[in-house]
């Protein structure tokens, strides 16, 4: 077979899953790569050496720091922060928009904020957060919601969220038929309920126990069960201030049983007062048992009068006698240390929403409008609190709430929305949750938004999915973004998005994969998806950086984006030691190395540079004035100082180099009724189109970029734009692939390649 000329115009499919090896019929195959390591897929189709990183801070000696979290905080356009939260040490470190750490916080001389989350650091991944202006709210199923308030750049407050009117729920519903008559003022709406034919009692008790009190000998109650369902209040003496329901009464012994148990058992010094109503009745229900009518008490008026909101209309306003209605009680705070706290939160249309508590995992609560910490249901007016529960034939534990065009509800089994019509706001009367799709997601990795599409990792974390409204079906649908590159979702632990900010930029999704075992060390890397929705472009590459040895990459534990800047928390073990270390790093387009120490406009004298202690024993590259100065190993003990072979004149950078590899898919020209899968192939010539590049190897052979002449060896390599041609690539192979690498850490931007290939038996 004669020679074949192939042209790969772009790499816009990114790194493809090995399982697609046989799918040469796919359009993406022709533009795909077998390997896209430490390169960024450009929106124009090329691949570019990824940026290096600046070291913002390092930590060591604490193995539990691997459970730390990175959280962005955007106070204003100019005031943005990255928070590093150490849940083990209960500390929050604050870094400004330049990646510099803020010190002497709150005038304590400490470079951290002291906290009291009160949860195990092992549960840190389940902590979720939501921000509004100067306040960041944290939630977790076992923690009273907290808030962090920015008062000033170096002044922050951490405290419990001041919740009021926590929703009530009857975890153990208790009902009684009180022995008095009630009369509703109206059949519906906001009404008044009046009690009549009421027998009351007051006096000093004879005795008490955990759940009983013995009334005075001359009690007004002369028959069994007479005060059942009424309220008893301890008005003086032991246990003063407690109010309970009357659960049972035995007239012969004067022993009255209460519900729930007393906090402090009364005794013979305790004064008591028994009435039809007490303020504790607010939130309880009246249920007609022989007819129609159900109402919730909303306000205490007097011992015989309550205001109420009718949920089911009464038949009429006639008195309802004893035996024809029940008092429903047993209600308690939905959220508490006993019942658990909300696991997720979001702001949506002037309400703060909570979802998925420990004891009510499939319920959502919304605050009053503009009164974000007040969850008073009131009388179901449009601006009062809302509540709804997802009831399906499977458990839908709520994992995320997202404010989009609609309030989106993500659960362990499916995806839902609170459907709204046009500009109609959510109110207590229309708070309806509808199922849309059935993937499910976990609560450990954030859900992100890109141009109106909500991106989430499926519950098993092996698929990246876009959830978006579709006009054609008037419902929400999904698209699997990772279908061509699912092999790059090895061990996801964190996800963030960098949205396009300029015309030549695109959205990028960063996913940190951190395999905390030594079984598969190669599973530790950042997966980077380049997403261009209007062109249906989803291209993946991976960022990998060295760890304590070349065989074990650093573990990217967390990733976050703030103000277009991408930060990553890496675990980099100390070389030659069992100790562990961590580094907060910021990607910088002007840097070529990782964890680098650099000066771009140097005007002084510099013969050496000092590295952070974490990098003792690491091999680093020294670049000065755009020239590779040397490769050295950081000393194993203090001072961790490296000397330049030649003193920099205007700039320098010292840091960790990383491998760059771009490998094409096995060659398969599209020819009718012809396949070259099983024949040997040889690359004869490669014409590589590059843009502002300085170094590149093709199949291991160095491509010349420096023009020789006088005084050029100690000057920077000029950036080249155009075509670089390489001939005489030796050897046959089964695949006919081209591999692009670099010998030194300089600029590379590969736009496309034309190559000639010889094919033979």
Domain boundaries, the chain: 4-49+661-760, 171-333, 590-656
Determine the Cα angle at 75 with ends 70 and 79, to 5°. 90
- Which pLDDT score is estimated for 712? 54
Confidence of residue 36 (pLDDT cuts 50, 70, 90): very high
Tokens of residue 326, six digits: 């029940």
Per-residue tokens: 696:
């590149």
For residue 375, report the phi and psi dihedrals to the nearest 5 degrees.
Answer: -110, 35
pLDDT value of residue 515: 83
Whole-angstrom distance, CA of residue 341 vs CA of residue 357: 5
pLDDT at 534: 65
Is 363 within 8 Å of 195 (Cβ atoms)? no
Tens digit of each residue's pLDDT (9 = 90 or more) over 281-330 = 998 999 999 888 999 999 999 999 999 999 899 999 999 999 999 999 88
pLDDT band (50, 70, 90) for residue 671: low
Give the CA dihedral 714, 719, 720, 721, nearest 10 degrees.
-170
- Return the closest-CA partner of residue 276 out of 217, 327, 313: 327
Q: What is the mean pLDDT of residues 40-45?
A: 90
Torsion of CA 62, 63, 64, 70, to 10 degrees: 80
Q: Which of 351, 350, 402, 357 is nearest to 139 (CA)?
A: 357
End-to-end Cα distance, the chain: 8
pLDDT of 521 reads 81
Average confidence (pLDDT) over 331-356: 95
User: What pLDDT sits at residue 25?
Assistant: 81
pLDDT value for 215: 98
pLDDT at site 253: 97
Cα distance between residue 40 and residue 541, in whole Å: 7
Q: Compute the mean pLDDT over every residue in the chain, rounded to the nearest whole number.
A: 91
Span 424-454, pLDDT tens digits = 899 998 999 999 999 999 889 999 998 889 9
Asked if the model's pLDDT at residue 692 lies above 90, the reply is yes
Q: What is the pLDDT of residues 106-126, one digit of tens each?
A: 999 999 999 999 999 989 999
pLDDT for residue 506 is more than 70: yes
The conformation of residue 320, written as its DSSP 8-state character, comes to: B
- The answer, yes or no, to whether residue 708 has pLDDT greater than 60, is no
Residue 119 · residue 127 · CB < 8 Å: yes
For the chain, give the percent of residues with pLDDT over 70: 95
In the chain, the largest separation of any two C-alpha atoms, in whole Å, equals: 118
Provide the pLDDT for residue 707. 66
Is the model's pLDDT at 673 over the cut of 80?
no
pLDDT at 713 over 70: no
Alpha carbon distances (Å) from 48 to 37, 497, 661, 750: 10, 19, 11, 6
Q: Which tokens is 335 given?
A: 């959220």
Q: Tell me the mean pLDDT in the region 716-739.
A: 86
Burial state string for 724-751 with b = 16 or more CB within 10 A and e = fewer than 16: bebeebeeeeebbbbebbbebbbbbbbb
Mean pLDDT of 75-83: 93
Any idea which of 486-490, 539-543, 601-605 has the lowest mean pLDDT?
A: 601-605
pLDDT of residue 2: 58
Class of the CATH-defined domain 4-49+661-760? mainly beta
With 0-12 CB in 10 A as exposed, 13-18 as middle and 19+ as buried, what is 559?
buried
List CB contacts of 180: < 8 A, sequence separation 6 or more. Answer: 195, 196, 197, 198, 199, 230, 276, 322
Contacts of 658 (CB under 8 A, 6+ apart): 38, 544, 545, 546, 593, 594, 745
């Amino acid at each position: 077979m004669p020679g074949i000329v192939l042209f790969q115009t772009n790499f816009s499919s990114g790194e493809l899953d090995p399982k697609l090896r046989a799918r040469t019929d796919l359009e993406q195959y022709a533009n795909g790569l077998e390997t896209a390591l430490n390169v960024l897929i450009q929106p124009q189709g090329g691949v570019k050496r990824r940026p290096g990183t600046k070291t913002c801070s390092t930590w060591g000696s604490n193995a539990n720091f691997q459970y730390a979290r990175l959280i962005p905080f955007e106070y204003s356009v100019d005031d943005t922060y990255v928070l590093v939260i150490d849940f083990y040490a209960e500390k929050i470190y604050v870094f400004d928009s330049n990646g510099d750490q803020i010190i002497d916080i709150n005038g304590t001389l400490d470079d951290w904020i002291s906290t009291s989350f009160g949860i195990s650091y092992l549960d840190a991944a389940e902590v979720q957060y939501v921000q509004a202006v100067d306040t960041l709210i944290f939630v977790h199923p076992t923690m009273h919601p907290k808030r962090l308030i920015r008062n000033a750049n170096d002044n922050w407050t951490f405290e419990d969220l001041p919740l009021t009117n926590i929703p009530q729920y009857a975890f153990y519903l208790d009902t009684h038929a009180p022995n008095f008559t009630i009369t509703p003022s109206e059949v519906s709406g906001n009404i008044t309920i009046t009690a009549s034919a009421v027998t009351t009692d007051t006096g000093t008790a004879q005795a008490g126990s955990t759940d009983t009190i013995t009334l005075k000998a001359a009690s007004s109650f002369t028959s069994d069960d007479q005060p059942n369902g009424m309220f008893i209040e301890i008005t003086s003496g032991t246990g003063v201030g407690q109010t309970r329901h009357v659960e049972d009464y035995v007239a012969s012994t004067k022993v009255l049983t209460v519900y729930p148990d007393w906090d402090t058992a009364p005794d013979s010094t305790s004064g008591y007062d028994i009435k039809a109503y007490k303020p504790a009745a607010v939130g309880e229900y009246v249920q007609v048992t022989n007819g129609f009518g159900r109402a919730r008490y909303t306000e205490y008026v007097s011992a015989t009068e309550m205001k109420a909101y009718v949920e089911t209309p009464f038949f009429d306003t006639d008195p309802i006698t004893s035996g024809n209605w029940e008092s429903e009680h047993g209600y308690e705070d939905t959220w508490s240390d006993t019942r658990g706290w909300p696991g997720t939160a979001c702001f949506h249309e002037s309400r703060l929403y909570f979802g998925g508590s420990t004891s009510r995992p499939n319920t959502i609560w919304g605050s009053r409008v503009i009164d974000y910490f007040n969850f008073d249901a009131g009388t179901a007016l449009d601006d009062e609190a809302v509540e709804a529960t997802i009831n399906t034939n499977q458990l839908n534990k709520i994992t995320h709430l997202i404010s989009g065009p609609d309030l989106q509800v993500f659960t362990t089994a499916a995806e839902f929305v609170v459907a709204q019509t046009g500009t109609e706001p959510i109110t207590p009367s229309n708070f309806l949750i509808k199922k849309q799709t059935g993937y499910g997601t976990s609560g450990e990795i954030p859900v992100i938004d890109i141009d109106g599409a909500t991106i989430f990792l499926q519950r098993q974390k092996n698929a990246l999915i876009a959830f978006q409204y579709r006009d054609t079906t008037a419902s929400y649908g999904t698209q699997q973004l990772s279908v061509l590159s699912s092999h790059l979702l090895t061990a996801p632990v964190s996800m963030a998005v960098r949205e396009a900010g300029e015309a030549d930029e695109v959205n990028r999704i960063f996913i940190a994969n951190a395999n905390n075992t030594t079984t598969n060390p190669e599973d530790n890397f950042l997966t980077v998806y380049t997403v261009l929705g209007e062109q249906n472009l989803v291209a993946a590459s991976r960022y990998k950086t060295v760890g304590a040895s070349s065989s074990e990459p650093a573990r990217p534990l967390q990733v976050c984006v703030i103000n277009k800047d991408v930060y990553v928390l890496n675990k980099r073990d100390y070389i030659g030691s069992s100790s562990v270390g961590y580094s907060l790093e910021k990607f910088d387009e002007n840097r070529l190395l990782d964890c680098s120490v650099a000066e771009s406009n140097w005007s002084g004298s510099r013969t050496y540079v000092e590295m952070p202690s974490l990098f003792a024993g690491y091999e680093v590259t020294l670049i000065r004035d755009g020239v590779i100065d040397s490769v050295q190993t950081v000393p194993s003990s203090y001072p961790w100082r490296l000397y330049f072979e030649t003193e920099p004149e205007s700039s320098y950078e010292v840091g960790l180099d990383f491998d760059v590899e771009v490998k094409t898919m096995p060659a398969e020209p599209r020819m009718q009724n012809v396949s070259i899968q099983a024949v040997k192939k040889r690359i004869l010539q490669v014409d590589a189109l590059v843009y502002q590049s300085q170094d590149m190897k093709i199949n291991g052979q160095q491509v010349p970029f420096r023009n020789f002449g006088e005084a050029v060896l100690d000057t920077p390599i000029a950036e080249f734009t155009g075509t670089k041609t390489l001939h005489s690539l030796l050897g046959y192979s089964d695949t006919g692939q081209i591999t692009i690498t670099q010998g030194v850490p300089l600029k590379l931007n590969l736009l496309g390649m034309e190559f000639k290939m010889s094919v033979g038996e």
